[in-house]
Amino acid sequence: MADDLGDEWWENQPTGAGSSPEASDGEGGGRDTEVMQQETVPIPASSKKTKQPKECFLIQPKERKDNTTKTRKRRKKKITDVLAKSEPKPGVPEDLQKLMKDYYSSSRSVIELEELNLPVCPKWVKLRRNHTEKKSVLMLIICSSAIRALELIRSMTAFRGDSKVIKLFAKHIKVQEQVELLEKRVVHLGVGTPGRIKELVKQGGLNLNPLKFLVFDWNWRDQKLRRMMDIPEIRKEVFELLEMGVLSLCKSESLKLGLF
């Protein structure tokens, strides 16, 4: 009886009021597909105007017609380059004679130039035993620098023997100290630069009259391959020293010149 009532109640229900789970499942699935279709709908392209490509024209550079070729700047020749190519030759008396004539050619007459034929002594003569005067030396060696003078003094240990040597250059030694040393004792050999020797002669600290030999460090070359007479400053001081009584002593044959 109860079953019959239940069937009647079910049949009397309006369609759609009570739907079966299968129907509900069908409706849910339909909604899901609608959502998926909405999501996969393509987005319309933006309405922005696309930029059209601009035309570019490449202009070729004009060819320059330069007939003139670039000239390289010539490097100025230095005395070091000239001396590096020249073979070193030992000094001879004619070298000094030629330099003296070239130096005095503008200030002296022809007759005075002929009188400049000075005697040159190539060897050292031992006269130190007879030398007893102070404020003078028996032999004077002229160098281009103080360092070279020290080298010569060290190398002359066997040559000088018992003779007294004095340093005549300006490096770390005052003029007054050298004057006092020359006044105190007898000196046989002096080694120095022409500038300091010239200053000592000016102040009366060095007397050139007892001088017997004046030797030039002629053949030695420095790092730039220059000899002492290749340096303008040294050459000028040497000739100024010669005019301070050296030339007159050479004419009287009491003084002889040497090239080392």
Rounded to whole angstroms, the Cα distance separating 259 from 218 reads 6
Rounded to whole angstroms, the Cα distance separating 36 from 148 reads 105
Nearest Cα to 180, choosing from 203, 209, 211, 163?
A: 203
Nearest Cα to 229, choosing from 55, 42, 75, 103?
A: 103
pLDDT of 129 over the 80 cut: no
End-to-end CA distance of the chain: 158
Q: What is the pLDDT of residues 133-189, one digit of tens each?
A: 899 998 999 999 999 999 999 888 777 777 889 999 988 889 999 999 999 999 989
Indicate the average pLDDT of the chain. Answer: 76
Q: Are 207 and 163 a contacting pair, CB within 8 Å?
A: no
Q: In this predicted structure, what is the pLDDT of residue 104?
A: 85
Model pTM?
Answer: 0.55
The domains of the chain, with CATH numbers, are 126-259 (3.40.50.300)
Place of tokens 């018992």: 162
Q: Are 258 and 122 a contacting pair, CB within 8 Å?
A: yes
pLDDT of 258 over the 70 cut: yes
> CA separation (Å) from 229 to 58, 77, 142, 194?
67, 19, 11, 11
Q: Give me the mean pLDDT over the 60-80 stretch.
A: 63
